[in-house]
Amino acid sequence: MIVDFHVHFFPDSIAVKTTKLLSEQANIKCYGDGTIHSLLRYMKEDNIDLAINLPIATKEEQVISINRKMIEYNKKNNKVISFGAMHPNFSKVGNIKEELEFISKNGIKGIKLHPEYQEFYPDDPKILPIYEACRDFNLIISFHCGKDIAFTTVHGTPKRFAEVAKIKSLKLVFGHMGGYQMWDEVEHYIMGLHDIYIDTSFTLEMDDWQLKEIILGHGAYKVLFASDFPWQRQIDIVNKIKNLNIGKMQEDMIFYKNALNLLNINH
């Protein structure tokens, strides 16, 4: 079994336009057309059993509509579980605690936050109400960590995320092995932190030795398989991990056991 903890799809009406724009901004290839139908097709080809969709609200006004759509998506799809959205400025248009309580009660298991698209520092005290509400309502927080090839800024450094990790009882997933293109800093600030999950999304460019070093140094029981589809293909990340020769027990943790435990799904 394989669970991909980090994928993206977009509404059919805007998927092609959105993925084309994002591909041009970042100068990267897109697999498929950005729709859930395309995601499911590639999942079948690459033998992926379950995927977690991570929507990003680039404006606070988008949060409520995204969350309502994700709740409806989850009622219709059992191969893809969609997280909800939140924005650091949501308090300008709504109540953070009420919105996160609502999505939790409607089956949403977590939210996605992206320091670059949403222009915030993860250790900024103004984000605390979101963290506290996620803790209160048992929601996972998946972060984009490190650089983003579409931006020149870096708000989410491993050092700043290490401060977030000090907040007790949060369910945290640090994307891109803890910090895209900042993996030396990940080894210094993130690797080995207690109860912090890191995911393998968009890591094809990582040297195998460093990927293996961080997996073993952090603990395979706290690493989640992830691709960042449609920006990297799932089977390519699967093969990269298998080529590390870390053993079946550790591979099984990464490929599905850790994800199912974090999502509280029986297996």
CA–CA distance, 265 with 42 (Å, rounded to integer): 23
Amino acid at 262: L
CA–CA distance, 218 with 223 (Å, rounded to integer): 8
pLDDT level of residue 11 (50, 70, 90 thresholds): confident
CA–CA distance, 176 with 196 (Å, rounded to integer): 13
Q: What's the predicted TM-score (pTM) here?
A: 0.96
Q: What percent of the chain has pLDDT over 90?
A: 89
| Contact residues for 262 (Cβ-Cβ < 8 A; gap 6+) | 140, 171, 173, 197, 224
Is the CB of residue 153 less than 8 Å from the CB of residue 116? yes
- Mean pLDDT on 203-231: 98
Domain span at residue 173?
3-263
Give me the pLDDT at residue 70, please: 97
CA–CA distance, 196 with 164 (Å, rounded to integer): 10
Cα dist from 113 to 55, 203, 226, whole Å: 9, 19, 16
Give the residue from 83, 139, 142 showing the smallest Cα distance to 115. Answer: 142
pLDDT tens column, 135-180: 999 999 999 999 999 899 999 999 999 999 999 999 999 999 999 9
Q: What are phi and psi of 106, to 5 degrees?
A: -100, 20
Give me the pLDDT at residue 262, please: 98
Give me the pLDDT at residue 19, please: 87
Specify the number of domains making up the chain: 1
Amino acid at 76: K
CA–CA distance, 124 with 182 (Å, rounded to integer): 20
